[in-house]
Amino acid sequence: MSEAPKEPAKTPIQNGRWAAPQEPETITVVLNEQRVDALAGSTVQGLLETHPHPGKFPPLAAIVNGRLRPLDHTLVSNCRVKTVDYASKEGAMVYRRTCTLLLCETAREIDPDLNPVVGQSILGGYFFSFKRAGVWLPKAGPGLLRRLKRRMHEIVDEDRPVRVRRVAVEAALQHFHGIGAWDKVKLLETTRRAEVQWASIGAYRDLILGPLAPSTGLLQKFDLAPWASGLVLRFPTPDFQIRPRFQSESRLYDAYRETRAWNEELGITNIGTLNEAVIRGQVSEVIRIAEGFHERKICALADEIKARAQEVRLVLVAGPSSSGKTTFTKRLEVQLRVVGLRPVALSMDNYYVNREDTPKHADGTYDFECIEALDLDLFNDQVLRLIRGEEVETPIYSFPLGRRIEKTISRRLRPGDVLITEGIHCLNERLTVGVAREQKHKIYVSALTQLSIDDHNRIFTSDVRLLRRLVRDRLYRNYSAAQTLKQWSSVRAGENRYIFPFQEEADAMFNSALVYEQAVIRTYAERFLLEVPLDDPNMSEAYRLMRFLHLLVPLFPEEVPQNSILREFIGGSAFRY
């Protein structure tokens, strides 16, 4: 049989005329600081074949001109490309996102009606509870956990490709309607995108909000551990190891679950339901009830302290950056007065050592966050003397001068008075080693959001605090968004060292997150993030945050109460700071 004649090669049309085919355009790619000449249309993955990733671990994605992209991203013009692996924050996020997709696919393979629902970050991973046909399972038994773990490892060994498609929103809505994924339906109905991306490693499809690893074979290390009613999908440590054991975080879990219950009572558990409330004009009631939950909790904490009034003489409030410690403390002082106690504020800022005595980092910069930056001996001595009823001359520290000034403040505790102070080290026993434990009441404050994007995409609690800080810094501290983003990794390192290890030592926890706050924060943060230069080293983080904020319907701040913790960051607070 003779071959069919070949069709003549088609040529492009320019200005209504046939034009000769053009040669592929050559572009310049700075790949991991190495100049590479490539053809337009090349992918990052293709370039890695001749210019391998320099990291310790396999590449998972790439930052292309400040934006995190998958490895199959097509390069069409001159650009700078940095590939990322698990050792980087961006790479770890890609790994975790892909592991979550793996868990969802595996659950649907085992039981098409089984749906893992993501919760808080805890124990080095993500907590998941389970629904079957829309009904919560009271407990994920050991049999289910074993089946999930075994099948997940089998899919990793199969090294399945992770397929990502861009589809019209209408097609995605039809699909998610069909499987009863109402969390995703509400999210898509309240956004105005024309297209979305979904991914699959089998039959199951899920919305994705960032790049994924190219194949399941890269997910070599993870673990499933039973916890409460569900399980924790545990991820490797930064050196890519799974810790054999992990510490208890029961108090933290209880704080999360309390907030989750608040959200469920409000009917606002994900961004789709929040957006719907904003669009329908129902958010005023949401704000009032959310703030009411906060007030009720603060009242309960004041009652706890009152019940221990015979022994408690010192209330210590600790929490990470932008957790709302200052406003919380002021509101607690009000409620302590309501129950008949007189709070006496003692500022930790006045107990810093002189600048020349401040410890330094390895690079020679001052380490103001370490506990040795405080005069522990003076603080303990004066607190003990105050508790004994003595009059004390407490210091005043000048940050511009870097030392204490001569002026002091006279203080004495009367019967019914209670000292109250807040600071990052307040849960650390070293700070108040001279005070008997029964004389102290420790409270941990943090923004532990339980609002999720949808059932499988969580909002990072650290992002809530970062956005708060970014807005406050830009409005009131003369710091640009780029400067705040640059400092954030150092802030987080200090928290991991000085705050989080002590959080379970608290007598009580207060979750300062508000279910509606991201919609208000968007109004400010989106504008400030646009000021980050395109060539700034933190552009990838700014871009990631803007993509998240775009999911939210913006909410104007007029209805936020003046005593709200959110006012500490957006302004208009009834308190003075």
Average pLDDT, the chain: 93
SS3 label, residue 562 = coil
pLDDT tens sequence across 473-492 = 999 999 999 999 999 998 99
How far is residue 405 from each of residues 331, 375, 376, 395, 478, measured CA to CA in Å? 30, 15, 18, 8, 26
Share of the chain above pLDDT 90, in %: 84
CA separation for the pair 366, 358 (Å, rounded): 6
121-144: average pLDDT: 92
Looking at residue 18, its pLDDT comes to: 56
486-514: average pLDDT: 93
DSSP state of 270: B
Looking at residue 361, its pLDDT comes to: 86
CA separation for the pair 165, 173 (Å, rounded): 15
**How many CB atoms are located within 10 Å of the residue 1 CB?**
3
Looking at residue 245, its pLDDT comes to: 60
543-561: average pLDDT: 96
Looking at residue 251, its pLDDT comes to: 81
Residue of 501, 520, 451 lying closest to 278 (CA atoms): 520
CA separation for the pair 254, 237 (Å, rounded): 24
pLDDT reading at 266 higher than 70: yes
pLDDT tens sequence across 331-350 = 999 999 999 999 999 999 99
CA separation for the pair 36, 27 (Å, rounded): 8
* Stated pTM of the model: 0.90
Query: Strand locations in 163-236, DSSP E?
Result: 163-168, 195-200, 206-207, 223-227, 230-234
Q: Which two tokens stand for residue 114?
A: 């089984």
Q: Which of residues 238 and 379 earns the better pLDDT score? A: 379
**Residues sharing a CB contact under 8 Å with residue 150, sequence separation 6 or more, in sequence order:** none
pLDDT band at residue 242 using 50, 70 and 90 as cut-offs: confident
pLDDT reading at 9 higher than 50: no
CA separation for the pair 49, 353 (Å, rounded): 55
pLDDT reading at 13 higher than 70: no
SS3 label, residue 173 = helix
Outline where 356-456 has alpha helix (H). Answer: 376-387
314-318 and 417-422 as β-strands: parallel, antiparallel, unpaired?
Answer: parallel
pLDDT reading at 219 higher than 70: yes
Which of 241-245, 306-310, 381-385, 422-426 comes out lowest in average pLDDT? 241-245
Residue of 212, 226, 196, 216 lying closest to 454 (CA atoms): 196
